[in-house]
Structure 1
Protein backbone atom coordinates (compact mmCIF):
# COMPACT_ATOMS: atom_id res chain seq x y z
CA UNK A 1 0.00 0.00 0.00
CA UNK A 2 1.37 3.38 -0.96
CA UNK A 3 0.66 6.52 1.00
CA UNK A 4 1.75 10.09 0.61
CA UNK A 5 3.91 11.47 3.40
CA UNK A 6 2.11 13.72 5.85
CA UNK A 7 3.83 16.53 7.67
CA UNK A 8 2.32 17.06 11.13
CA UNK A 9 1.93 20.41 12.84
CA UNK A 10 4.97 21.99 14.44
CA UNK A 11 5.43 20.77 17.99
CA UNK A 12 5.87 23.45 20.60
CA UNK A 13 6.70 21.53 23.79
CA UNK A 14 10.20 22.38 25.04
CA UNK A 15 10.83 24.39 21.88
CA UNK A 16 13.00 27.46 21.86
CA UNK A 17 12.35 28.51 18.29
CA UNK A 18 9.06 29.64 16.83
CA UNK A 19 8.10 27.85 13.64
CA UNK A 20 5.45 28.85 11.08
CA UNK A 21 2.27 26.80 10.96
CA UNK A 22 2.29 24.00 8.41
CA UNK A 23 -0.89 24.37 6.39
CA UNK A 24 -0.16 21.31 4.22
CA UNK A 25 -0.80 18.84 7.03
CA UNK A 26 -3.56 16.30 6.51
CA UNK A 27 -5.35 16.76 9.82
CA UNK A 28 -7.25 13.49 9.27
CA UNK A 29 -4.08 11.42 9.56
CA UNK A 30 -3.61 9.65 12.87
CA UNK A 31 -0.09 9.28 14.28
CA UNK A 32 1.28 5.76 14.65
CA UNK A 33 3.47 6.90 17.54
CA UNK A 34 2.35 9.35 20.22
CA UNK A 35 4.50 10.42 23.17
CA UNK A 36 3.32 12.89 25.80
CA UNK A 37 5.40 14.44 28.60
CA UNK A 38 7.80 11.50 28.61
CA UNK A 39 10.30 11.41 31.45
CA UNK A 40 12.92 8.70 31.79
CA UNK A 41 15.49 8.03 34.50
CA UNK A 42 17.23 4.69 34.87
CA UNK A 43 17.46 4.65 38.67
CA UNK A 44 15.56 6.51 41.37
CA UNK A 45 18.48 8.76 42.28
CA UNK A 46 19.74 9.33 38.73
CA UNK A 47 19.12 12.52 36.72
CA UNK A 48 16.44 12.52 34.06
CA UNK A 49 17.65 11.29 30.68
CA UNK A 50 14.46 12.52 29.00
CA UNK A 51 12.48 15.39 30.46
CA UNK A 52 8.99 16.18 29.16
CA UNK A 53 9.38 14.92 25.59
CA UNK A 54 6.40 15.11 23.22
CA UNK A 55 6.45 13.36 19.85
CA UNK A 56 4.08 12.27 17.07
CA UNK A 57 5.09 10.11 14.10
CA UNK A 58 2.70 10.10 11.15
CA UNK A 59 2.28 7.57 8.32
CA UNK A 60 4.71 8.09 5.47
CA UNK A 61 7.02 10.67 7.04
CA UNK A 62 10.73 10.59 7.76
CA UNK A 63 11.72 12.34 10.99
CA UNK A 64 15.35 13.10 11.81
CA UNK A 65 16.26 13.04 15.49
CA UNK A 66 19.29 15.23 16.15
CA UNK A 67 21.41 15.56 19.24
CA UNK A 68 24.92 15.19 20.55
CA UNK A 69 26.10 12.18 22.55
CA UNK A 70 24.15 11.95 25.78
CA UNK A 71 21.22 14.04 24.54
CA UNK A 72 18.75 11.17 24.95
CA UNK A 73 18.24 10.08 21.33
CA UNK A 74 18.83 6.37 21.89
CA UNK A 75 16.84 6.40 25.13
CA UNK A 76 13.86 7.91 23.32
CA UNK A 77 13.98 5.15 20.71
CA UNK A 78 14.30 2.49 23.42
CA UNK A 79 11.34 3.92 25.30
CA UNK A 80 9.14 3.45 22.23
CA UNK A 81 9.61 -0.32 22.44
CA UNK A 82 9.87 -0.79 26.20
CA UNK A 83 13.65 -1.17 26.39
CA UNK A 84 13.97 1.98 28.52
CA UNK A 85 11.89 2.58 31.66
CA UNK A 86 9.11 5.16 31.45
CA UNK A 87 9.33 7.15 34.67
CA UNK A 88 6.21 9.15 33.80
CA UNK A 89 4.20 10.19 30.78
CA UNK A 90 2.38 8.37 28.00
CA UNK A 91 3.91 6.33 25.18
CA UNK A 92 1.79 4.75 22.44
CA UNK A 93 3.45 2.96 19.52
CA UNK A 94 1.94 0.89 16.71
CA UNK A 95 -1.35 0.68 18.58
CA UNK A 96 0.15 -0.35 21.94
CA UNK A 97 0.20 1.54 25.24
CA UNK A 98 3.84 0.83 26.02
CA UNK A 99 3.56 1.68 29.72
CA UNK A 100 0.94 -1.04 30.29
CA UNK A 101 2.50 -3.98 28.45
CA UNK A 102 3.57 -7.28 29.96
CA UNK A 103 6.41 -9.33 28.48
CA UNK A 104 4.34 -11.20 25.88
CA UNK A 105 2.70 -7.98 24.72
CA UNK A 106 6.10 -6.28 24.56
CA UNK A 107 7.25 -9.00 22.17
CA UNK A 108 4.18 -8.37 20.04
CA UNK A 109 4.92 -4.63 19.97
CA UNK A 110 8.55 -5.20 19.03
CA UNK A 111 7.47 -7.41 16.15
CA UNK A 112 5.57 -4.39 14.80
CA UNK A 113 8.60 -2.08 14.98
CA UNK A 114 11.42 -2.57 12.49
CA UNK A 115 14.81 -1.55 13.85
CA UNK A 116 17.96 -0.61 11.95
CA UNK A 117 21.21 -0.18 13.87
CA UNK A 118 24.63 1.33 13.30
CA UNK A 119 26.40 -2.05 13.47
CA UNK A 120 23.93 -3.90 11.16
CA UNK A 121 23.62 -6.90 13.56
CA UNK A 122 23.77 -9.45 10.77
CA UNK A 123 24.97 -13.04 11.15
CA UNK A 124 28.04 -12.85 8.98
CA UNK A 125 28.44 -16.52 8.09
CA UNK A 126 24.82 -16.87 6.95
CA UNK A 127 23.61 -15.94 3.50
CA UNK A 128 22.06 -12.56 2.81
CA UNK A 129 18.63 -14.07 2.17
CA UNK A 130 18.74 -16.08 5.40
CA UNK A 131 19.51 -12.91 7.34
CA UNK A 132 16.49 -11.25 5.75
CA UNK A 133 14.29 -14.27 6.51
CA UNK A 134 15.09 -14.00 10.23
CA UNK A 135 13.09 -10.78 10.27
CA UNK A 136 9.90 -12.80 9.80
CA UNK A 137 10.50 -15.42 12.49
CA UNK A 138 7.89 -13.92 14.81
CA UNK A 139 5.23 -15.05 12.31
CA UNK A 140 7.03 -18.22 11.32
CA UNK A 141 5.42 -21.62 11.10
CA UNK A 142 7.04 -24.73 12.61
CA UNK A 143 9.17 -25.38 9.52
CA UNK A 144 10.70 -21.91 9.72
CA UNK A 145 11.72 -22.45 13.34
CA UNK A 146 14.01 -25.26 12.17
CA UNK A 147 15.53 -23.28 9.31
CA UNK A 148 13.48 -24.70 6.45
CA UNK A 149 11.79 -21.48 5.37
CA UNK A 150 8.55 -21.54 3.43
CA UNK A 151 8.69 -20.80 -0.28
CA UNK A 152 6.33 -17.83 0.18
CA UNK A 153 8.72 -16.33 2.73
CA UNK A 154 11.69 -16.87 0.45
CA UNK A 155 9.82 -15.19 -2.39
CA UNK A 156 9.06 -12.21 -0.18
CA UNK A 157 12.66 -11.98 1.07
CA UNK A 158 13.92 -11.92 -2.53
CA UNK A 159 11.40 -9.21 -3.40
CA UNK A 160 12.65 -7.13 -0.47
CA UNK A 161 16.26 -7.59 -1.54
CA UNK A 162 15.18 -6.36 -4.96
CA UNK A 163 13.51 -3.39 -3.23
CA UNK A 164 16.74 -2.41 -1.48
CA UNK A 165 18.84 -2.99 -4.60
CA UNK A 166 20.93 -6.08 -3.78
CA UNK A 167 18.93 -9.07 -5.01
CA UNK A 168 22.08 -10.27 -6.82
CA UNK A 169 23.73 -10.80 -3.40
CA UNK A 170 21.00 -13.09 -2.03
CA UNK A 171 23.21 -16.16 -1.74
CA UNK A 172 26.40 -14.41 -0.66
CA UNK A 173 27.60 -14.59 2.93
CA UNK A 174 26.62 -11.39 4.69
CA UNK A 175 30.18 -10.80 5.91
CA UNK A 176 31.45 -10.49 2.33
CA UNK A 177 29.34 -7.38 1.63
CA UNK A 178 30.39 -3.76 1.97
CA UNK A 179 29.06 -1.67 4.86
CA UNK A 180 26.46 0.03 2.71
CA UNK A 181 25.29 -3.31 1.31
CA UNK A 182 25.06 -4.82 4.79
CA UNK A 183 22.90 -1.93 5.94
CA UNK A 184 20.59 -2.56 2.99
CA UNK A 185 20.29 -6.18 4.13
CA UNK A 186 19.41 -4.94 7.61
CA UNK A 187 16.71 -2.69 6.14
CA UNK A 188 15.27 -5.60 4.14
CA UNK A 189 15.28 -7.70 7.32
CA UNK A 190 13.33 -4.98 9.13
CA UNK A 191 10.81 -4.84 6.27
CA UNK A 192 10.39 -8.62 6.50
CA UNK A 193 8.57 -7.97 9.77
CA UNK A 194 5.84 -6.01 7.97
CA UNK A 195 6.51 -3.22 10.47
CA UNK A 196 4.13 -0.38 11.23
CA UNK A 197 7.04 1.84 12.37
CA UNK A 198 10.79 1.86 11.62
CA UNK A 199 13.39 3.13 14.09
CA UNK A 200 16.87 3.70 12.68
CA UNK A 201 19.47 4.48 15.36
CA UNK A 202 22.54 6.12 13.75
CA UNK A 203 22.16 3.90 10.64
CA UNK A 204 24.89 5.69 8.64
CA UNK A 205 27.42 6.47 11.38
CA UNK A 206 29.84 3.83 10.08
CA UNK A 207 29.32 4.55 6.37
CA UNK A 208 31.13 6.88 4.00
CA UNK A 209 29.28 9.98 2.71
CA UNK A 210 28.19 8.40 -0.57
CA UNK A 211 26.78 5.31 1.13
CA UNK A 212 25.20 7.44 3.84
CA UNK A 213 23.25 9.41 1.28
CA UNK A 214 22.18 6.24 -0.53
CA UNK A 215 20.90 4.53 2.64
CA UNK A 216 19.01 7.61 3.82
CA UNK A 217 17.40 8.01 0.40
CA UNK A 218 16.30 4.39 0.61
CA UNK A 219 14.78 4.80 4.07
CA UNK A 220 12.91 7.93 3.02
CA UNK A 221 11.53 6.25 -0.09
CA UNK A 222 10.32 3.30 2.01
CA UNK A 223 8.54 5.68 4.41
CA UNK A 224 6.84 7.46 1.52
CA UNK A 225 5.97 4.41 -0.59
CA UNK A 226 4.85 2.11 2.22
CA UNK A 227 3.24 4.66 4.53
CA UNK A 228 5.58 3.69 7.37
CA UNK A 229 6.86 6.44 9.68
CA UNK A 230 10.66 6.30 9.94
CA UNK A 231 12.48 7.90 12.89
CA UNK A 232 16.20 8.30 12.14
CA UNK A 233 18.74 9.25 14.78
CA UNK A 234 21.54 11.30 13.20
CA UNK A 235 24.45 13.44 14.30
CA UNK A 236 25.26 15.08 10.95
CA UNK A 237 23.13 18.18 10.42
CA UNK A 238 23.41 18.42 6.60
CA UNK A 239 22.15 14.84 6.26
CA UNK A 240 19.11 15.65 8.38
CA UNK A 241 18.34 18.75 6.33
CA UNK A 242 18.59 16.81 3.07
CA UNK A 243 16.87 13.55 3.94
CA UNK A 244 13.94 14.25 6.28
CA UNK A 245 10.46 15.72 6.29
CA UNK A 246 10.74 16.93 9.85
CA UNK A 247 13.53 17.50 12.37
CA UNK A 248 13.53 17.17 16.16
CA UNK A 249 16.50 18.47 18.13
CA UNK A 250 17.25 17.05 21.58
CA UNK A 251 19.56 18.62 24.15
CA UNK A 252 19.98 17.36 27.72
CA UNK A 253 16.86 15.25 27.32
CA UNK A 254 14.59 18.07 26.17
CA UNK A 255 13.31 18.97 22.73
CA UNK A 256 14.68 22.42 21.99
CA UNK A 257 13.58 22.67 18.35
CA UNK A 258 11.00 20.83 16.26
CA UNK A 259 9.45 21.56 12.90
CA UNK A 260 9.13 20.73 9.20
CA UNK A 261 12.56 20.49 7.60
CA UNK A 262 11.86 23.17 4.93
CA UNK A 263 11.11 25.65 7.75
CA UNK A 264 14.45 25.04 9.50
CA UNK A 265 18.05 25.88 8.70
CA UNK A 266 21.48 25.29 10.19
CA UNK A 267 21.37 28.49 12.24
CA UNK A 268 18.09 27.53 13.92
CA UNK A 269 19.44 24.08 14.72
CA UNK A 270 22.85 25.23 15.96
CA UNK A 271 21.74 25.16 19.59
CA UNK A 272 21.37 21.40 19.44
CA UNK A 273 25.17 21.09 19.33
CA UNK A 274 26.16 24.24 21.23
CA UNK A 275 29.08 23.82 23.62
CA UNK A 276 28.47 24.46 27.31
CA UNK A 277 30.83 27.47 27.39
CA UNK A 278 29.02 28.96 24.39
CA UNK A 279 25.72 28.82 26.28
CA UNK A 280 27.22 30.84 29.13
CA UNK A 281 28.42 33.69 26.91
Structure 2
Protein backbone atom coordinates (compact mmCIF):
# COMPACT_ATOMS: atom_id res chain seq x y z
CA UNK A 1 0.00 0.00 0.00
CA UNK A 2 1.41 3.38 -0.89
CA UNK A 3 1.43 6.35 1.45
CA UNK A 4 -1.02 9.21 1.49
CA UNK A 5 -3.96 7.49 -0.16
CA UNK A 6 -6.30 9.20 2.30
CA UNK A 7 -5.41 12.90 2.66
CA UNK A 8 -8.48 13.77 4.73
CA UNK A 9 -7.32 12.18 7.99
CA UNK A 10 -5.44 15.27 9.20
CA UNK A 11 -8.64 17.30 8.95
CA UNK A 12 -10.13 15.27 11.81
CA UNK A 13 -9.42 16.29 15.45
CA UNK A 14 -6.29 14.62 16.79
CA UNK A 15 -6.52 11.73 19.25
CA UNK A 16 -2.99 12.44 20.46
CA UNK A 17 -1.63 15.91 21.15
CA UNK A 18 1.86 16.51 22.52
CA UNK A 19 2.91 20.11 23.09
CA UNK A 20 6.32 21.37 24.18
CA UNK A 21 7.21 18.04 25.76
CA UNK A 22 10.45 17.89 27.73
CA UNK A 23 11.57 14.68 29.41
CA UNK A 24 14.51 14.16 31.76
CA UNK A 25 15.12 11.10 33.92
CA UNK A 26 16.09 11.61 37.57
CA UNK A 27 17.35 15.14 37.07
CA UNK A 28 19.61 14.16 34.18
CA UNK A 29 19.92 15.83 30.77
CA UNK A 30 16.88 16.29 28.57
CA UNK A 31 16.04 13.25 26.48
CA UNK A 32 13.20 15.12 24.73
CA UNK A 33 13.34 18.88 24.33
CA UNK A 34 10.21 20.75 23.25
CA UNK A 35 8.59 18.00 21.17
CA UNK A 36 5.27 18.65 19.40
CA UNK A 37 3.24 15.80 17.93
CA UNK A 38 -0.31 15.20 16.73
CA UNK A 39 -1.84 11.89 15.68
CA UNK A 40 -5.13 11.96 13.80
CA UNK A 41 -7.71 9.19 13.38
CA UNK A 42 -6.95 6.85 10.49
CA UNK A 43 -3.38 7.93 9.80
CA UNK A 44 -0.07 6.10 10.09
CA UNK A 45 2.82 8.23 11.31
CA UNK A 46 6.39 6.96 11.01
CA UNK A 47 8.70 8.02 13.84
CA UNK A 48 12.30 8.16 12.67
CA UNK A 49 15.62 8.80 14.36
CA UNK A 50 18.85 7.02 15.22
CA UNK A 51 19.66 5.45 18.59
CA UNK A 52 19.62 8.09 21.29
CA UNK A 53 17.24 10.38 19.40
CA UNK A 54 14.39 9.90 21.90
CA UNK A 55 11.97 7.76 19.89
CA UNK A 56 11.33 5.18 22.59
CA UNK A 57 11.04 7.85 25.27
CA UNK A 58 8.43 9.67 23.21
CA UNK A 59 6.44 6.47 22.85
CA UNK A 60 6.70 5.74 26.57
CA UNK A 61 5.52 9.24 27.39
CA UNK A 62 2.24 8.54 25.61
CA UNK A 63 1.37 5.81 28.13
CA UNK A 64 2.83 7.39 31.27
CA UNK A 65 6.00 5.29 31.40
CA UNK A 66 8.26 8.33 30.90
CA UNK A 67 8.11 11.42 33.13
CA UNK A 68 6.66 14.61 31.69
CA UNK A 69 9.19 17.14 32.92
CA UNK A 70 7.31 19.97 31.24
CA UNK A 71 4.80 20.43 28.45
CA UNK A 72 1.63 18.41 27.97
CA UNK A 73 0.60 14.98 26.65
CA UNK A 74 -3.04 14.19 25.82
CA UNK A 75 -3.97 10.73 24.53
CA UNK A 76 -7.53 9.60 23.74
CA UNK A 77 -8.98 12.15 26.16
CA UNK A 78 -6.46 11.51 28.96
CA UNK A 79 -4.16 14.19 30.38
CA UNK A 80 -1.28 11.77 30.80
CA UNK A 81 0.86 13.88 33.13
CA UNK A 82 -1.94 14.16 35.69
CA UNK A 83 -3.37 10.65 35.87
CA UNK A 84 -3.74 8.55 38.99
CA UNK A 85 -2.84 4.85 39.02
CA UNK A 86 -6.31 3.59 38.11
CA UNK A 87 -6.60 6.15 35.32
CA UNK A 88 -3.19 5.10 33.99
CA UNK A 89 -4.41 1.51 33.77
CA UNK A 90 -7.43 2.63 31.76
CA UNK A 91 -5.22 4.71 29.46
CA UNK A 92 -2.92 1.76 28.82
CA UNK A 93 -5.92 -0.44 28.05
CA UNK A 94 -6.93 2.09 25.39
CA UNK A 95 -3.50 2.04 23.73
CA UNK A 96 -2.57 -1.08 21.75
CA UNK A 97 1.16 -1.76 21.64
CA UNK A 98 3.28 -3.88 19.30
CA UNK A 99 6.94 -4.54 20.09
CA UNK A 100 10.07 -5.64 18.26
CA UNK A 101 10.35 -8.92 20.19
CA UNK A 102 6.62 -9.81 19.90
CA UNK A 103 6.31 -10.51 23.69
CA UNK A 104 4.21 -13.64 23.19
CA UNK A 105 4.05 -16.54 25.65
CA UNK A 106 5.65 -19.21 23.50
CA UNK A 107 4.17 -22.29 25.21
CA UNK A 108 0.60 -20.95 24.99
CA UNK A 109 -1.57 -21.31 21.92
CA UNK A 110 -1.89 -18.53 19.38
CA UNK A 111 -5.54 -18.10 20.40
CA UNK A 112 -4.70 -17.78 24.10
CA UNK A 113 -2.03 -15.18 23.34
CA UNK A 114 -4.60 -13.09 21.49
CA UNK A 115 -7.10 -13.52 24.32
CA UNK A 116 -4.64 -11.97 26.78
CA UNK A 117 -5.38 -8.67 25.06
CA UNK A 118 -8.79 -8.78 26.76
CA UNK A 119 -7.41 -9.24 30.29
CA UNK A 120 -8.10 -5.61 31.18
CA UNK A 121 -11.86 -6.21 30.99
CA UNK A 122 -12.13 -9.98 31.55
CA UNK A 123 -12.82 -9.59 35.28
CA UNK A 124 -11.79 -11.92 38.15
CA UNK A 125 -14.38 -14.62 37.32
CA UNK A 126 -13.19 -14.95 33.74
CA UNK A 127 -9.55 -14.91 34.78
CA UNK A 128 -10.22 -17.89 37.04
CA UNK A 129 -12.51 -19.84 34.74
CA UNK A 130 -11.48 -18.87 31.23
CA UNK A 131 -12.51 -16.25 28.70
CA UNK A 132 -16.08 -15.85 27.55
CA UNK A 133 -17.41 -17.25 24.30
CA UNK A 134 -17.72 -13.68 23.02
CA UNK A 135 -14.03 -13.06 23.72
CA UNK A 136 -13.11 -16.27 21.90
CA UNK A 137 -15.20 -15.35 18.87
CA UNK A 138 -13.60 -11.92 18.78
CA UNK A 139 -10.10 -13.41 19.03
CA UNK A 140 -10.78 -15.79 16.15
CA UNK A 141 -12.17 -12.94 14.05
CA UNK A 142 -8.97 -10.97 14.66
CA UNK A 143 -6.77 -13.93 13.79
CA UNK A 144 -8.71 -14.27 10.57
CA UNK A 145 -8.23 -10.57 9.91
CA UNK A 146 -4.44 -10.83 10.22
CA UNK A 147 -4.44 -13.99 8.11
CA UNK A 148 -3.49 -16.75 10.55
CA UNK A 149 -6.73 -18.13 11.99
CA UNK A 150 -5.58 -21.58 10.84
CA UNK A 151 -2.74 -21.36 13.40
CA UNK A 152 -5.07 -20.70 16.37
CA UNK A 153 -4.39 -23.98 18.21
CA UNK A 154 -0.64 -24.07 17.64
CA UNK A 155 1.91 -22.93 20.20
CA UNK A 156 3.06 -19.39 19.53
CA UNK A 157 6.72 -20.45 19.59
CA UNK A 158 6.16 -22.71 16.56
CA UNK A 159 5.36 -19.74 14.30
CA UNK A 160 7.72 -17.75 12.12
CA UNK A 161 8.72 -14.23 13.12
CA UNK A 162 6.27 -12.61 10.72
CA UNK A 163 3.45 -14.83 11.94
CA UNK A 164 4.27 -14.07 15.57
CA UNK A 165 4.14 -10.35 14.87
CA UNK A 166 0.70 -10.76 13.32
CA UNK A 167 -0.42 -12.56 16.47
CA UNK A 168 0.93 -9.63 18.49
CA UNK A 169 -1.07 -7.21 16.32
CA UNK A 170 -4.24 -9.27 16.82
CA UNK A 171 -3.58 -9.25 20.58
CA UNK A 172 -3.29 -5.45 20.54
CA UNK A 173 -6.54 -5.19 18.57
CA UNK A 174 -8.23 -7.39 21.18
CA UNK A 175 -8.07 -4.36 23.48
CA UNK A 176 -10.25 -2.35 21.08
CA UNK A 177 -7.60 0.37 21.20
CA UNK A 178 -8.14 4.02 20.44
CA UNK A 179 -4.46 4.45 19.50
CA UNK A 180 -1.80 1.98 18.32
CA UNK A 181 1.92 2.24 19.07
CA UNK A 182 4.38 -0.01 17.23
CA UNK A 183 7.98 0.24 18.47
CA UNK A 184 10.36 -1.12 15.81
CA UNK A 185 7.84 -3.84 14.86
CA UNK A 186 9.82 -5.07 11.83
CA UNK A 187 13.39 -4.76 13.11
CA UNK A 188 13.77 -8.55 13.35
CA UNK A 189 11.96 -9.38 10.08
CA UNK A 190 13.21 -9.75 6.53
CA UNK A 191 12.24 -7.06 3.97
CA UNK A 192 9.30 -8.94 2.46
CA UNK A 193 7.74 -9.65 5.86
CA UNK A 194 8.44 -6.07 6.93
CA UNK A 195 6.29 -4.77 4.08
CA UNK A 196 3.53 -7.25 4.98
CA UNK A 197 3.41 -6.21 8.64
CA UNK A 198 3.55 -2.48 7.93
CA UNK A 199 0.88 -2.78 5.25
CA UNK A 200 -1.32 -4.54 7.81
CA UNK A 201 -0.78 -1.77 10.38
CA UNK A 202 -1.61 0.91 7.83
CA UNK A 203 -4.79 -0.88 6.79
CA UNK A 204 -5.83 -1.18 10.43
CA UNK A 205 -5.35 2.57 10.92
CA UNK A 206 -7.56 3.40 7.97
CA UNK A 207 -10.22 0.72 8.43
CA UNK A 208 -10.59 1.21 12.20
CA UNK A 209 -10.13 4.99 12.15
CA UNK A 210 -7.37 4.96 14.75
CA UNK A 211 -3.92 6.54 14.57
CA UNK A 212 -0.88 4.27 14.38
CA UNK A 213 2.52 5.57 15.43
CA UNK A 214 5.28 3.27 14.19
CA UNK A 215 8.94 3.66 15.07
CA UNK A 216 11.28 2.71 12.22
CA UNK A 217 14.93 2.89 11.19
CA UNK A 218 14.65 2.08 7.48
CA UNK A 219 13.82 5.13 5.37
CA UNK A 220 12.29 3.31 2.36
CA UNK A 221 9.86 1.52 4.68
CA UNK A 222 8.81 4.81 6.25
CA UNK A 223 8.36 6.46 2.86
CA UNK A 224 6.21 3.60 1.58
CA UNK A 225 4.09 2.82 4.63
CA UNK A 226 3.17 6.11 6.28
CA UNK A 227 1.00 9.17 5.79
CA UNK A 228 3.28 11.47 7.76
CA UNK A 229 6.83 11.32 9.05
CA UNK A 230 8.17 12.79 12.29
CA UNK A 231 11.94 12.71 12.68
CA UNK A 232 13.82 13.18 15.95
CA UNK A 233 17.44 14.08 16.47
CA UNK A 234 18.98 14.65 19.90
CA UNK A 235 15.51 14.85 21.43
CA UNK A 236 14.17 17.53 19.10
CA UNK A 237 11.82 17.33 16.12
CA UNK A 238 13.92 17.87 13.02
CA UNK A 239 11.31 16.76 10.47
CA UNK A 240 7.50 16.82 10.55
CA UNK A 241 5.67 16.67 7.24
CA UNK A 242 3.38 14.59 5.02
CA UNK A 243 5.30 11.65 3.56
CA UNK A 244 4.51 12.72 -0.01
CA UNK A 245 6.52 15.89 0.55
CA UNK A 246 9.67 14.08 1.72
CA UNK A 247 12.51 12.13 0.14
CA UNK A 248 15.38 9.98 1.34
CA UNK A 249 17.73 12.92 0.86
CA UNK A 250 15.59 15.19 3.03
CA UNK A 251 15.50 12.58 5.80
CA UNK A 252 19.22 11.75 5.72
CA UNK A 253 20.19 14.50 8.24
CA UNK A 254 18.33 12.52 10.92
CA UNK A 255 21.18 10.00 10.75
CA UNK A 256 24.20 12.23 10.10
CA UNK A 257 26.93 11.23 12.53
CA UNK A 258 26.32 9.15 15.62
CA UNK A 259 23.98 10.07 18.42
CA UNK A 260 25.40 9.98 21.91
CA UNK A 261 24.60 7.04 24.17
CA UNK A 262 21.18 7.43 25.73
CA UNK A 263 17.52 6.66 25.44
CA UNK A 264 16.38 5.60 22.00
TM-score bracket, shorter-length normalisation: over 0.9
Equivalent-residue separation in structure 2 for 1:118 and 1:101 (angstroms): 27
* Mapped partners of 2:125, 2:173: distance in 1: 21
Q: Does 1:204 align with 2:171?
A: no
Residues in 2 aligned to 1:88 and 1:5: alpha-carbon distance in whole angstroms = 36
The equivalences for 1:131-280 within 5 A come to: 131-275=113-257
Deviation at 1:141, TM superposition (A): 3.3
Q: Name 1:13's counterpart in structure 2.
A: none
Residue 32 of structure 1 pairs with residue 10 of structure 2: no
Report deviation, 1:39.
0.1
Match of 1:53 among 22, 35, 44: 35
2:129 and 2:135 map into 1 onto residues whose CA distance is 12
Q: Tell me: CA distance 1:276–1:162, structure 2 relative to 1, closer, same or farther (3 Å).
A: closer
- Give the conservation status (yes or no) of the 8 Å contact 2:57–2:66: yes
- Stretches of structure 2 lacking an aligned partner (at least 5 in a row): 260-264
Q: Name the counterpart of 1:43.
A: 26
Deviation for aligned residue 1:143: 3.5
- Once the two structures are superposed, residues 195-245 of structure 1 have per-residue CA deviations (whole angstroms, 9 ceiling, x without a partner) of 000000000000011110100000000001000100000000000000000
Cα distance change on mapping 1:25 and 1:154 into 2, 3 Å: closer
In structure 1, C-alpha distance between the alignment counterparts of 2:245 and 2:95, rounded to whole Å: 29
Which SS does the other structure have where 2:30 is aligned? coil
Structure 2 length-normalised TM: 0.94
Dislocated runs of 4+, deviation >4 Å? 4-7
Deviations 1:22-77 (CA, angstroms, capped at 9, x unpaired): xx5653x1100000000000021x11000000000000000000000010000000
Say which SS state the counterpart of residue 211 (structure 1) adopts.
Answer: helix
Q: In the comparison of the two structures, how many residue pairs are matched?
A: 256
**CA displacement 1:85-130 (0-9 Å, x = unmatched):** 0100000001100011011110000000000000000000000000
Contact 1:53 1:255 in 2 (8 A): yes
Report Cα offsets for 1:120-160 as digits up to 9, x if no partner. 00000000000000001111133421251110100000000
Structure 1 segments unaligned to the other structure (5+ residues): 8-23
Q: 2:48 aligns with which of 55, 59, 66?
A: 66
